[in-house]
Amino acid sequence: MPARILLALILTIFPFTTLFADIIITIDDMVLNGKILEENKKTVTFGNYHGIFIIDLDKIKEIYRTGSYEDDLKILSDKGRVVNKDEVRTNYDSGLKKIREFEIEEDGREPFTYFNLAIAPYIIFNLGKLGTILPCSYGVSLTACIPVSNFEFAKKIFLSGVSIEAGYFYSEKGERGVTGYRASAGPQWQFPVLTGSFKLDWFISAAFGAGWYNVKGLEQEMTAVKWNSGISTGLVFTVSSITISPLLRFDYIYDSKVPLYGMGAALSLGYRF
Closest CA to 228 of 268, 182, 164, 263: 182
Please check whether residues 140 and 96 belong to one and the same domain. Answer: no
Task: Give the pTM.
Answer: 0.60
Indicate the angle between helix axes 69-78 and 85-107, nearest 10 degrees: 130
Please check whether residues 67 and 169 belong to one and the same domain. Answer: no
Domain endpoint, select from 49, 80, 107: 107
Please check whether residues 34 and 126 belong to one and the same domain. Answer: no
Question: Domain containing 205: what range?
Answer: 2-13+113-272
Please check whether residues 50 and 6 belong to one and the same domain. Answer: no
Are the C-beta atoms of 133 and 173 separated by less than 8 Å? yes
* 3-state SS class at 59: helix
Please check whether residues 176 and 223 belong to one and the same domain. Answer: yes
Per residue of the chain (273 residues), what is the pLDDT tens digit?
444 444 444 444 433 333 356 888 889 888 888 888 888 888 888 888 888 888 998 889 888 887 777 888 888 888 888 778 888 888 878 877 777 666 555 555 555 668 899 999 999 999 998 899 999 999 999 999 999 877 777 777 888 899 999 999 999 998 899 999 999 999 999 888 876 557 788 999 999 999 999 999 867 888 999 999 999 999 999 888 899 999 999 999 999 888 999 999 999 999 988
The count of structural domains within the chain is: 2
Please tell me the distance from the alpha carbon of residue 98 to that of residue 91, in angstroms, as a whole number. Answer: 10
Please tell me the distance from the alpha carbon of residue 31 to that of residue 79, in angstroms, as a whole number. Answer: 11
* 3-state SS class at 86: helix
